[in-house]
Amino acid sequence: MNVYWREHKTGQRLILESETGQLEEVGGVRRTSKGFDALARTMGYEPGRAQKGFPTIEDAKSFVESFHPWDIFIGTAEIEFDERVHPLPDEGT
C-alpha cells in the first residue's frame, strides 16, 4: 500500500493506493483566503479531524497525517509513504 499527497485544484489530497491500483482519498488540505483548511477522513462524525486556518500547507498536511487516516482501510498493514507530491491527474483518469 502506498500513501502520497496529490495536487488538487484547491490544494492537495492524501491518497491511499492499493496494490491493485485502487485509490482512496483519506484526507486533504485546501487553500482559503484565511490560510489552509485540513481534513482527515473518518468513518463517523469526529469534528476534531478537521481544522481551519493553518498558516502553511505543511502545517495542514502534518495535522492530517497525524491521524493516520489510512488505517481505516488497511488496519495494521504496512504502508509506504511517498514524500513526493504527485501531480494533478489528467482529466479522464
pLDDT at residue 93, as a whole number? 47
Please say whether the beta carbons of 13 and 27 come within 8 A.
yes
Per-residue cell: 21: 491500483
Domain positions in the chain are: 2-85
- The model's pLDDT over 48-91, given as tens digits with 9 standing for 90+, comes to 999 999 999 999 999 999 999 999 888 777 889 999 999 987 76
pTM of the model: 0.90
pLDDT given at position 45: 85
